[in-house]
Amino acid sequence: MNHRTVRPADAPPPVLVVDRATVRFAGLTALDGVSFTVAPGTVHALIGPNGAGKSTCFNVLSGVRRTASGSVRFGDAELTALPPHRIAALGVARTFQNIVLTRGTVADNLMLGRHTLTRAGYAATALRLPGAVREQRRHRERAREIAEFTGLGARFDTPVDLLPYGDRKRVELARALCMEPELLLLDEPVAGLNTAERAAMAETVTAVRDALGLSVLIVEHDTGLIMRIADAVTVLDFGRVIADGTPAQVRNDPAVIAAYLGTPAQDAPVGETPVADTPAEEAP
């Protein structure tokens, strides 16, 4: 069983540092020397047009893809050579563009998120030994608290197959939070949601930062939402960083406007960065 690595109480929160990360696919450079830093306790957005390399970057951070060169560090840990389960044990949790849930209830899915925090072995759990039963009760109580926090309290015992799409997106977020992460990777959390659901999800993301003190790295096509909730924004285009700064700085960056509008940077109008409506990214 792969147990969660617990940071000492007096240790500083870990910083995510991506340093010149490069990923190539059969001659295609998906990430080209990408560098950015996610400060602890902030919402950091990763945006860009379709095919910019956002999903590839997320896959590197979560251990699904390996870099050809460069470094990704989370605190003292180098992530680039670690498999996904080892990265998760360091306190990194993620959601996906397409909802990935198991059959069963909301509670069943959230309890999966407690796996790396479980100390009882398989035999003790199967035999329902007293210590294992007490531990499972504590985990279930914590899962219920997280369900309440994410607006799923009334759905806790509901089969996920019966939930509307917006609630299933919340289940995936809640399951990630059940890992008690220090860094939360959110891959298009409002894709497919209506206006009210988008606003509610945005509130939840800011609550994750404000109430739980987590670092959040978010990939999202809804740049209007990003400009409202993010503390910092990194913009990718063709696998390269073209802007990095506060939402106000990025919004009026000529290179960003050119990337979204397809116009020369020197001729691009200064104003609101347009929202990209296409929900899926083309990069591998």
Q: Which of 245, 250, 243 is nearest to 224 (CA)?
A: 250
Structure tokens at 245: 């700064």
Task: Read off the pLDDT of residues 221-279 as tens digits, 9 standing for 90 and up.
Answer: 898 999 999 999 999 999 999 999 999 999 989 999 988 866 554 443 333 333 333 33
pLDDT of the residue at 9: 61
Contact 91, 108 (CB under 8 A): no
Segment 46-59, tens digit of pLDDT: 999 988 999 999 99
Q: What integer is the mean pLDDT of 68-85?
A: 95
Domains of the chain, CATH where assigned: 13-91+181-284 (3.40.50.300), 101-180 (no CATH)
Q: Which residues pair with 244 in a beta bridge?
A: 234
Q: What is the pLDDT of residues 5-16, one digit of tens each?
A: 666 666 778 999
* Entry pTM: 0.84
